[in-house]
Chain A
Amino acid sequence: MYKITKSEQLSKNEYDFWIEAPRIAKKAKPGQFVMLRINEMGERIPLTIADTDDSSGKIRLVFQVIGKTTAELGKLTIGDTILDLTGPLGMPTEIKNYGTVMIVGGGVGIAAVFPIIKGLKKAGNRVITILGAKTAELVILQEECRQYSDELIITTDDGTKGMKGLVTDAMEQVIANETINSSWAIGPSMMMKFCTMTAAKYELPLYVSLNPIMIDGTGMCGGCRVTIDGSIKFACVDGPEFKGTEVNWDEFISRMKQYKTEEETCLVDYQKVQVINRG
């Protein structure tokens, strides 16, 4: 059992947890994730390790409510426990001194770029960060990201914060003014696809973190398979980070829709029960 020691609601649908998991806290590196299962009936879901505190043996998870499991997770609070937590899984980001790097986070993907920003800054890079969201309220972890960034640009679709527009607009701006040695983008699939196209125009290497549906997270089911440079890779063990230009995006985006109907049933059922429980 893994205890939640801190919980905060970041926005209407986003939560920020610290959980006791000493073994994972000790090993986790930027780019890695955990698989968690809330209870006996639960699904195993992957979440990025957003931060760690090795001295107190805790890890941080930031998540967005999407379906049943994340909705249920959002209901938990300090003192509650999670039945299973496994990790750290996946290949870590290659942290080294590249020179100047550009890191783009979109929506809840900001939580996934945060440890990368932190890692790259500590490795001596000049870090330019772009955070994008639909609206001001959804720009999460802004202060934390700023702490490790030499420059921070915020974009919102509706212009309620930072520049009005898309992260790719900000990317164009940065690329026009600076020589960037490497870059990362994590967020919704469409965003990562367009960031890849933008970076490719300038032959700038860009890494993305794929978030396919996973079951075991240890390379044993093949459910998370993605086509990278024409061959089958398992995102949970070969990734989740890949070079954007090598990803078969159309296929990836299509595979994310696999369980739409089933998951809706699950969430609707869950919501009904919630309504009954509340009387």
Chain B
Amino acid sequence: MVRRSRTKTPIAEQDPAIRKSNFDEVCLGYTLEEGAAEAVRCLQCKEAPCIASCPVMIDIPGFILAIKKGNMQEAADILGKYTNLPAICGRVCPQEKQCEQVCKLGLAKNFEPVAIGKLERLVADWALENQDFSKCIQNNEAKIGRIAVIGSGPSGLTVAGDLAKMNYEVIIYEALHDSGGVLTYGIPEFRLPKRIVKKEIESIEALGVTIETNVVVGKTITMDEVMNEFDACYISVGAGAPNFMGIPGTALNGVYSSSEYLTRINLMHSYEFPKFDTPIKRSKNVVVIGGGNVAMDAARSAKRLGADHVSIVYRRSLEELPARIEEYHHSVEEDIDYHWLSNPVEYMNNGVGDLNGVKCVKMELGEPDESGRRRPVPIKNSEFIIEADTVIEAIGQGSNKVLLSTFPELKLTKWGYIEADPKTGTTSIPGVFAGGDIVTGAATVILAMGAGKIAAVEIDNYVREKNKTPVTTKV
């Protein structure tokens, strides 16, 4: 029997000194040999806890066993049963808080969990290279019904893929000129190459899904039209609207929301300006406000754009940082500085409308708030100024209102998200389903996908039921 290594099989990464000036992917992925070596570490648990903690319940020991046997096609087939976007999940899922957190091997003293995410990525990348998606079998049976999906993020793509597999005609409407939602306009190339996103979207189109870009539902076509022309619809428009702190100086030139900063970079390729036409500020001193994945992405992008000095201002401490710990470590390696327990109170004007500094105040942690985290409170007279020509607020997003503002019949929560049953995706209107960030608020790719999977089953039930009991025909 092979001795199990206590630690994860090391994975190659681009050298921090080099990668901080390019947008190429940081993590280079396992080779087949490294993958096989890592797969050997899995205990093949009965009632594997890793499965239960995965929002889409992937048969993790199953696909790992296939890797161990050297049968990549089998591994890919197993993954494909549960997820249409494995190369994406393998890169951006918070594995450390899901499958890997409960891995039995990792719970043993002095052992690290199996690198489930990296193995998933290995299989998915293998499949993207070696499988011909154009050969996907589409059967010729009459379609069961027509479904409209609004928004082409991970939630919409998942529901569309699953419904296409069940033999529905599916059309995805996307407001932007490119599909993928946050995967395309939010998460930067160095964490999630757009080439990968494109390929996985192509694999979904190969199932027979049509994606129409440049269609803003509510504007280009109305919800009435959607409800008349389709048997059911799924709303997955995300939570992309940026929040602002609203402190003095927010209107100064140089003050960005993370959404704008990242959209310019990712969707519009402004890091390749002037080859691409959309500009972005090339700054010397950048300050990012916030502590989530979005803040990390903005800060690391700013560094790659050539900023001399990038710092993150976070109002709590490292312990409470919501970002993935892997990304935090990457950011530190890339010389991103941190001002812990600090909060901005004002953006300073250089006199002609441009930002030249961020005035912050020191914070201390008080009593826990409703979220269970200790509430940060400002310390009197502790103001300090950080020199900055760009500041990026990454303090969270709200629901996208473009569609909702035209559809007042739909019931919303008090926070402005769609009220939908988490077990079915049903909303207050029959035939209208919803899921992803627009229901939960900003969450994760895998949760958005999970919502899509659940809704696909429910939509199928709904349409079959409706077809069985025809309503009085419209005249």
In-complex Cβ contact of A37 among B177, B240, B257, B274 (8 A): B177
In-complex Cβ contact of B278 among A23, A43, A84, A86 (8 A): A43
In-complex Cβ contact of A84 among B213, B259, B400, B402 (8 A): B213
Chain B residues contacting A220 (CB-CB under 8 Å) are 240-242, 259, 263, 400
Bitwise interface map of B from 267 to 278 toward A, beta carbon under 8 Å scored 1, else 0: 111000111111
Among B219, B267, B400, B405, chain A packs the most CB atoms within 10 A around the CB of B219
In-complex Cβ contact of B241 among A69, A215, A219, A248 (8 A): A219
Counting CB contacts under 8 A, is A237 at the interface?
A: yes
Determine the main DSSP class of A at the interface with B.
mixed
Determine the main DSSP class of B at the interface with A.
loop
Measured CB to CB, the nearest residue on chain A to B221 is: A23
Counting CB contacts under 8 A, is B175 at the interface?
A: yes
In-complex Cβ contact of B275 among A27, A41, A69, A225 (8 A): A41
Bitwise interface map of B from 252 to 285 toward A, beta carbon under 8 Å scored 1, else 0: 0100110110011001110001111111110000
A88–B242 touching, CB < 8 Å: no
Counting CB contacts under 8 A, is B43 at the interface?
A: no
A89–B219 touching, CB < 8 Å: yes
Q: Give the segment of B116-124, B243-251, B329-337 that binds chain A.
A: B243-251
Report how many residues on chain B are interfacial, defined by Cβ distance under 8 Å: 44
Q: How far is the CA of A42 from the CA of B274 in the complex (A)?
A: 10
Measured CB to CB, the nearest residue on chain A to B175 is: A218
A237–B278 touching, CB < 8 Å: no
- Known contacts: A215-B260, A221-B263, A222-B242. The answer to whether A258 contacts B253 by CB under 8 A is yes
Counting CB contacts under 8 A, is B216 at the interface?
A: yes
Counting CB contacts under 8 A, is A68 at the interface?
A: yes
B277–A222 touching, CB < 8 Å: no
| Interface positions of A from 93 to 118, Cβ below 8 Å from B | none
A215–B402 touching, CB < 8 Å: no
- Known contacts: A223-B260, A232-B250. The answer to whether A266 contacts B279 by CB under 8 A is yes
Counting CB contacts under 8 A, is B220 at the interface?
A: yes
B353–A262 touching, CB < 8 Å: no
A41–B276 touching, CB < 8 Å: yes
Report how many residues on chain A are interfacial, defined by Cβ distance under 8 Å: 42
In-complex Cβ contact of B244 among A219, A222, A257 (8 A): A222
Among B257, B269, B402, chain A packs the most CB atoms within 10 A around the CB of B402
Chain A residues contacting B260 (CB-CB under 8 Å) are 215, 221-223
Q: Shortest Cβ distance from B271 into chain A, in angstroms?
A: 13
A219–B215 touching, CB < 8 Å: no
Counting CB contacts under 8 A, is A269 at the interface?
A: yes
Counting CB contacts under 8 A, is B401 at the interface?
A: yes
Counting CB contacts under 8 A, is B461 at the interface?
A: no
Chain B residues contacting A24 (CB-CB under 8 Å) are 220
B268–A44 touching, CB < 8 Å: yes
Q: How far is the CA of A223 from the CA of B393 in the complex (A)?
A: 12
- Known contacts: A86-B177, A223-B260. The answer to whether A251 contacts B251 by CB under 8 A is yes
Counting CB contacts under 8 A, is B14 at the interface?
A: no
Bitwise interface map of A from 19 to 50 toward B, beta carbon under 8 Å scored 1, else 0: 00001100100000000010001111000000
The 6 A-B pairs at the shortest CB distance, nearest first, are namely: A262-B279, A254-B353, A43-B277, A221-B260, A222-B257, A220-B240
Question: CB within 8 Å of A: which residues of B?
Answer: 175-177, 185, 213-216, 219-222, 240-242, 244, 246, 250-251, 253, 256-257, 259-260, 263-264, 267-269, 273-281, 352-353, 400-402, 405
26 cross-chain CB contacts under 8 A: A27-B220, A27-B221, A41-B276, A41-B277, A68-B277, A86-B176, A86-B215, A86-B220, A87-B216, A88-B220, A216-B185, A216-B263, A218-B176, A218-B216, A218-B402, A219-B402, A221-B260, A222-B242, A222-B244, A222-B259, A223-B257, A225-B244, A225-B250, A257-B253, A262-B273, A266-B277
